[in-house]
Structure 1
């Protein structure tokens, strides 16, 4: 899902996100965080746009790590999906957390 060490972007998508109510559509975005080998904590790197009213969002905002950004083989990249209750205020529904994935920087996609 995330590509590093080049100026190329990779897009992110989700399928069959779970909701509390079956008929409810989600308004979701993905937060991308990075943990460098020398740091113990995650740093927010970027967010996608909010995709409305679907459980299968395709985010058109690409994630790019420019060549000058320090990405190492040991760098961890975490993608967290959130449900937004009110897009205009970007209020997160409940805990809002709908899923996450964590990758080493050598991984470019996840099936």
Structure 2
């Protein structure tokens, strides 16, 4: 199979999963992607998971010390930026129904669509 061949994938942003089998787990969105694009989305989900773990670890550390949380807004902004990139990618590679759903969320800047 060529790396440029596009396949349908079923995506759960909540679970951070990209599935080839529609019935394997619940999903919210459908995209078509080639192998390289699939890998790009997988890396974005890994980045999101890493950022989520960093935020959780930072929060637990700060609460344990009972200090102010000066880096929270920066960390949250980083998480939000990755999430926006994921939804932008999904919008670009999504089916018509997926694109409409992402647009209805109001999460993305209409100028980037």
The verdict on a shared fold, with TM-score over 0.5 as the criterion, is: no
Higher RCO, 1 vs 2 (CA within 8 Å, ≥6 residues apart): 1
The structure with more radius of gyration: 2
TM-score, normalised on structure 2? 0.23
* Structure with a larger share of its residues in strand: 1
* Structure with a larger share of its residues in helix: 2
TM-score, normalised on structure 1? 0.23
